[in-house]
Protein backbone atom coordinates (compact mmCIF):
# COMPACT_ATOMS: atom_id res chain seq x y z
CA UNK A 1 0.00 0.00 0.00
CA UNK A 2 1.33 3.44 -1.01
CA UNK A 3 0.11 6.78 0.35
CA UNK A 4 1.06 10.04 -1.39
CA UNK A 5 0.50 13.61 -0.22
CA UNK A 6 1.98 16.98 -1.09
CA UNK A 7 2.45 20.47 0.29
CA UNK A 8 3.82 23.60 -1.29
CA UNK A 9 7.35 22.59 -0.29
CA UNK A 10 7.52 18.82 -0.66
CA UNK A 11 5.87 15.53 -1.57
CA UNK A 12 5.57 12.75 1.02
CA UNK A 13 5.31 9.12 -0.07
CA UNK A 14 4.68 6.32 2.45
CA UNK A 15 5.25 2.74 1.30
CA UNK A 16 3.96 -0.03 3.56
CA UNK A 17 6.42 -2.87 4.22
CA UNK A 18 4.75 -6.26 4.70
CA UNK A 19 7.94 -7.82 6.17
CA UNK A 20 11.10 -6.84 7.98
CA UNK A 21 13.71 -5.19 5.78
CA UNK A 22 16.84 -7.34 6.00
CA UNK A 23 18.96 -5.55 3.39
CA UNK A 24 19.40 -2.00 2.22
CA UNK A 25 16.74 -1.02 -0.35
CA UNK A 26 17.74 0.36 -3.72
CA UNK A 27 16.57 3.99 -3.69
CA UNK A 28 17.19 6.32 -6.65
CA UNK A 29 16.28 10.01 -6.53
CA UNK A 30 16.81 12.12 -9.66
CA UNK A 31 15.41 15.53 -10.61
CA UNK A 32 12.42 13.89 -12.35
CA UNK A 33 12.68 10.25 -11.35
CA UNK A 34 11.97 8.13 -8.24
CA UNK A 35 12.63 4.43 -7.64
CA UNK A 36 12.27 2.28 -4.53
CA UNK A 37 13.21 -1.37 -4.94
CA UNK A 38 13.12 -3.86 -2.08
CA UNK A 39 11.82 -7.19 -3.44
CA UNK A 40 9.03 -8.00 -3.62
CA UNK A 41 8.21 -4.26 -3.38
CA UNK A 42 8.97 -2.14 -6.44
CA UNK A 43 7.83 1.49 -6.78
CA UNK A 44 8.83 3.68 -9.75
CA UNK A 45 7.55 7.08 -10.91
CA UNK A 46 8.52 9.80 -13.36
CA UNK A 47 7.87 13.20 -11.81
CA UNK A 48 6.06 15.94 -13.61
CA UNK A 49 8.43 18.64 -12.32
CA UNK A 50 11.93 18.75 -10.88
CA UNK A 51 12.90 18.18 -7.26
CA UNK A 52 16.01 18.92 -5.24
CA UNK A 53 17.63 15.48 -5.18
CA UNK A 54 20.26 16.53 -2.63
CA UNK A 55 17.68 17.76 -0.11
CA UNK A 56 15.27 14.85 -0.66
CA UNK A 57 15.67 11.69 1.44
CA UNK A 58 14.26 8.26 2.33
CA UNK A 59 13.87 6.78 5.80
CA UNK A 60 13.17 3.14 6.60
CA UNK A 61 11.03 2.29 9.63
CA UNK A 62 9.79 -1.00 11.02
CA UNK A 63 6.59 -1.21 8.97
CA UNK A 64 7.01 1.48 6.33
CA UNK A 65 9.41 3.50 4.17
CA UNK A 66 8.94 7.28 4.03
CA UNK A 67 10.24 9.24 1.05
CA UNK A 68 10.29 13.04 1.15
CA UNK A 69 10.79 14.84 -2.17
CA UNK A 70 11.71 18.53 -1.77
CA UNK A 71 10.42 20.68 -4.62
CA UNK A 72 12.77 23.03 -6.43
CA UNK A 73 10.01 25.59 -6.80
CA UNK A 74 7.36 25.93 -4.13
CA UNK A 75 3.74 25.40 -5.08
CA UNK A 76 1.13 22.69 -5.66
CA UNK A 77 1.57 20.43 -8.66
CA UNK A 78 -1.62 19.73 -10.63
CA UNK A 79 -0.08 16.45 -11.76
CA UNK A 80 2.69 14.91 -9.62
CA UNK A 81 3.61 12.07 -12.01
CA UNK A 82 3.88 11.71 -15.78
CA UNK A 83 1.57 9.37 -17.63
CA UNK A 84 3.62 7.43 -20.17
CA UNK A 85 2.79 4.61 -22.56
CA UNK A 86 4.83 1.43 -22.76
CA UNK A 87 7.26 2.58 -25.48
CA UNK A 88 7.87 5.97 -23.82
CA UNK A 89 8.36 4.23 -20.48
CA UNK A 90 11.02 1.91 -21.96
CA UNK A 91 12.78 4.87 -23.55
CA UNK A 92 12.71 6.76 -20.25
CA UNK A 93 14.16 3.76 -18.44
CA UNK A 94 17.07 3.59 -20.88
CA UNK A 95 17.74 7.30 -20.39
CA UNK A 96 17.53 6.92 -16.63
CA UNK A 97 19.93 3.95 -16.72
CA UNK A 98 22.50 6.01 -18.64
CA UNK A 99 21.97 8.90 -16.26
CA UNK A 100 22.47 6.63 -13.24
CA UNK A 101 25.71 5.24 -14.70
CA UNK A 102 26.98 8.75 -15.36
CA UNK A 103 26.02 9.88 -11.86
CA UNK A 104 27.73 6.88 -10.26
CA UNK A 105 30.83 7.61 -12.30
CA UNK A 106 30.91 11.20 -11.09
CA UNK A 107 30.30 10.02 -7.53
CA UNK A 108 33.25 7.63 -7.74
CA UNK A 109 35.44 10.37 -9.18
CA UNK A 110 34.49 12.70 -6.34
CA UNK A 111 35.14 9.98 -3.77
CA UNK A 112 38.56 9.30 -5.34
CA UNK A 113 39.31 13.02 -5.35
CA UNK A 114 38.35 13.31 -1.68
CA UNK A 115 40.59 10.35 -0.85
CA UNK A 116 43.51 11.84 -2.78
CA UNK A 117 43.03 15.22 -1.09
CA UNK A 118 42.93 13.56 2.32
CA UNK A 119 46.04 11.51 1.54
CA UNK A 120 47.84 14.59 0.21
CA UNK A 121 46.93 16.53 3.35
CA UNK A 122 48.29 13.70 5.55
CA UNK A 123 51.55 13.60 3.56
CA UNK A 124 51.96 17.38 3.81
CA UNK A 125 51.29 17.23 7.54
CA UNK A 126 53.95 14.51 7.96
CA UNK A 127 56.45 16.52 5.88
CA UNK A 128 55.83 19.60 8.01
CA UNK A 129 56.27 17.59 11.20
CA UNK A 130 59.58 16.09 10.03
CA UNK A 131 60.79 19.50 8.82
CA UNK A 132 59.97 21.08 12.17
CA UNK A 133 61.79 18.24 13.97
CA UNK A 134 64.90 18.73 11.79
CA UNK A 135 64.79 22.47 12.49
CA UNK A 136 64.61 21.85 16.24
CA UNK A 137 67.57 19.42 16.07
CA UNK A 138 69.58 21.89 14.00
CA UNK A 139 68.78 24.73 16.39
CA UNK A 140 69.77 22.58 19.35
CA UNK A 141 73.11 21.73 17.73
CA UNK A 142 73.80 25.38 16.95
CA UNK A 143 72.98 26.38 20.53
CA UNK A 144 75.27 23.66 21.88
CA UNK A 145 78.16 24.83 19.67
CA UNK A 146 77.55 28.45 20.68
CA UNK A 147 77.54 27.57 24.38
CA UNK A 148 80.76 25.54 23.98
CA UNK A 149 82.46 28.51 22.28
CA UNK A 150 81.36 30.86 25.05
CA UNK A 151 82.78 28.50 27.69
CA UNK A 152 86.10 28.26 25.84
CA UNK A 153 86.34 32.04 25.52
CA UNK A 154 85.66 32.46 29.24
CA UNK A 155 88.33 29.89 30.12
CA UNK A 156 90.89 31.65 27.92
CA UNK A 157 90.00 35.02 29.46
CA UNK A 158 90.40 33.62 32.98
CA UNK A 159 93.78 32.10 32.12
CA UNK A 160 95.00 35.33 30.54
CA UNK A 161 93.98 37.51 33.53
CA UNK A 162 96.89 37.81 36.12
CA UNK A 163 96.01 36.53 39.55
CA UNK A 164 96.26 39.07 42.41
CA UNK A 165 97.23 38.03 45.91
CA UNK A 166 94.36 38.16 48.33
CA UNK A 167 94.66 38.85 52.07
CA UNK A 168 94.78 35.85 54.32
CA UNK A 169 91.51 36.92 55.93
CA UNK A 170 89.72 36.76 52.56
CA UNK A 171 89.51 33.15 51.46
CA UNK A 172 87.48 32.18 48.38
CA UNK A 173 84.61 29.85 48.93
CA UNK A 174 86.17 27.27 46.60
CA UNK A 175 89.37 27.32 48.69
CA UNK A 176 87.37 26.84 51.88
CA UNK A 177 85.45 23.93 50.49
CA UNK A 178 88.30 22.21 48.66
CA UNK A 179 90.93 20.57 50.91
CA UNK A 180 94.39 20.37 49.31
CA UNK A 181 95.67 16.87 48.84
CA UNK A 182 98.96 16.47 50.79
CA UNK A 183 100.91 13.27 50.22
CA UNK A 184 103.11 12.01 53.13
CA UNK A 185 106.83 12.04 52.48
CA UNK A 186 108.40 8.82 51.32
CA UNK A 187 110.42 7.04 54.04
CA UNK A 188 113.91 5.76 53.30
CA UNK A 189 114.29 2.11 52.37
CA UNK A 190 115.50 -0.04 55.31
CA UNK A 191 118.84 -1.77 54.75
CA UNK A 192 119.56 -5.46 55.23
CA UNK A 193 120.77 -6.76 58.64
CA UNK A 194 120.30 -9.29 61.45
CA UNK A 195 118.13 -8.90 64.51
CA UNK A 196 119.30 -10.69 67.66
CA UNK A 197 116.66 -11.74 70.17
CA UNK A 198 117.49 -12.99 73.71
CA UNK A 199 115.25 -14.04 76.58
CA UNK A 200 116.09 -13.37 80.22
CA UNK A 201 114.43 -16.54 81.51
CA UNK A 202 112.49 -19.46 80.16
CA UNK A 203 108.81 -18.75 80.04
CA UNK A 204 106.74 -21.51 81.59
CA UNK A 205 103.11 -21.81 82.34
CA UNK A 206 101.77 -24.48 84.65
CA UNK A 207 98.53 -26.03 83.64
CA UNK A 208 96.20 -27.86 86.04
CA UNK A 209 96.39 -31.64 85.99
CA UNK A 210 93.37 -33.43 84.66
CA UNK A 211 91.57 -35.24 87.49
CA UNK A 212 90.23 -37.84 85.11
CA UNK A 213 93.79 -39.25 84.61
CA UNK A 214 95.02 -39.20 88.26
CA UNK A 215 93.90 -42.74 89.10
CA UNK A 216 95.38 -44.15 85.88
CA UNK A 217 98.72 -42.38 86.43
CA UNK A 218 99.01 -43.57 90.05
CA UNK A 219 98.32 -47.14 89.00
CA UNK A 220 100.85 -46.87 86.22
CA UNK A 221 103.54 -45.50 88.57
CA UNK A 222 102.84 -48.22 91.19
CA UNK A 223 103.29 -50.85 88.51
CA UNK A 224 106.82 -49.50 87.88
CA UNK A 225 106.27 -48.34 84.32
CA UNK A 226 109.07 -46.56 82.45
CA UNK A 227 109.52 -42.85 83.26
CA UNK A 228 107.15 -43.23 86.16
CA UNK A 229 108.89 -40.50 88.13
CA UNK A 230 108.40 -37.99 85.32
CA UNK A 231 105.38 -35.80 85.48
CA UNK A 232 102.53 -36.85 83.22
CA UNK A 233 102.44 -35.11 79.83
CA UNK A 234 99.40 -32.98 80.73
CA UNK A 235 100.88 -31.73 84.00
CA UNK A 236 102.82 -28.83 82.46
CA UNK A 237 102.95 -27.13 79.12
CA UNK A 238 105.83 -25.08 77.74
CA UNK A 239 105.06 -22.29 75.35
Residue 226 has a pLDDT of 56
Domain match, 104 and 47 both:
no
Domain match, 41 and 7 both:
yes
DSSP 171-214: --HHHHHSPP--PPPPPPPPPP-------SS--EEE-PPPGGGH
- In angstroms, the CA 176 to CA 83 distance is 112
Structural domain of 147: 84-154
Identify the domain boundary among 115, 136, 154.
154
Q: Please provide residue 136's backbone torsions phi and psi, each rounded to the nearest 5 degrees.
A: -65, -40
Mean pLDDT of 186-194: 67
- In angstroms, the CA 66 to CA 62 distance is 11
Q: Which residue has the higher pLDDT, 216 or 227?
A: 216
Domain match, 42 and 10 both:
yes
- In angstroms, the CA 130 to CA 119 distance is 17
Answer yes or no: is pLDDT of 227 > 70.
no
Residue 45 lies in a domain: yes
Answer whether 49's CB lies under 8 Å from 73's CB: yes
Residue 92 has a pLDDT of 84
Domain match, 61 and 9 both:
yes
Summarize pLDDT for 199-216 with one digit per residue, the tens: 666 666 666 666 666 777
Answer yes or no: is pLDDT of 238 > 50.
no
Answer yes or no: is pLDDT of 87 > 70.
yes
Identify the domain boundary among 63, 82, 101.
82
Domain match, 8 and 55 both:
yes
Task: Give 2's pLDDT tier (boundaries 50, 70, 90).
Answer: confident
Residue 93 lies in a domain: yes
Helix (H) or strand (E) holding 110: helix 86-160
Answer yes or no: is pLDDT of 236 > 50.
no
Domain match, 33 and 72 both:
yes
Summarize pLDDT for 28-76 with one digit per residue, the tens: 888 888 889 888 888 888 888 889 888 999 998 888 889 999 998 888 9
Q: How many domains does the chain have?
A: 2
Residue 179 has a pLDDT of 55
Identify the domain boundary among 82, 104, 122.
82
Residue 132 has a pLDDT of 92
Summarize pLDDT for 128-184 with one digit per residue, the tens: 999 999 999 999 988 888 888 888 777 777 777 665 555 555 445 544 555 555 666
Summarize pLDDT for 102-136 with one digit per residue, the tens: 888 888 888 899 999 999 999 999 999 999 999 99
Mean pLDDT of 78-87: 86
Domain match, 28 and 64 both:
yes
Residue 225 lies in a domain: no
Residue 149 has a pLDDT of 84
- CATH number, domain of 24, equals 2.60.40.790
Domain match, 100 and 112 both:
yes
Residue 214 lies in a domain: no
Amino acid sequence: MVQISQTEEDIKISIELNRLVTRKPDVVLLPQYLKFNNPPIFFERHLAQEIDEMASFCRIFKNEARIVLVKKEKGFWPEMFQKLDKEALMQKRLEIADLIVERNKKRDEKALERYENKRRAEIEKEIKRETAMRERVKQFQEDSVREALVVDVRKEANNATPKTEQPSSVVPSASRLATPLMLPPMSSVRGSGRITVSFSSQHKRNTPMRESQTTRDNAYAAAGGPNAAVNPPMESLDE
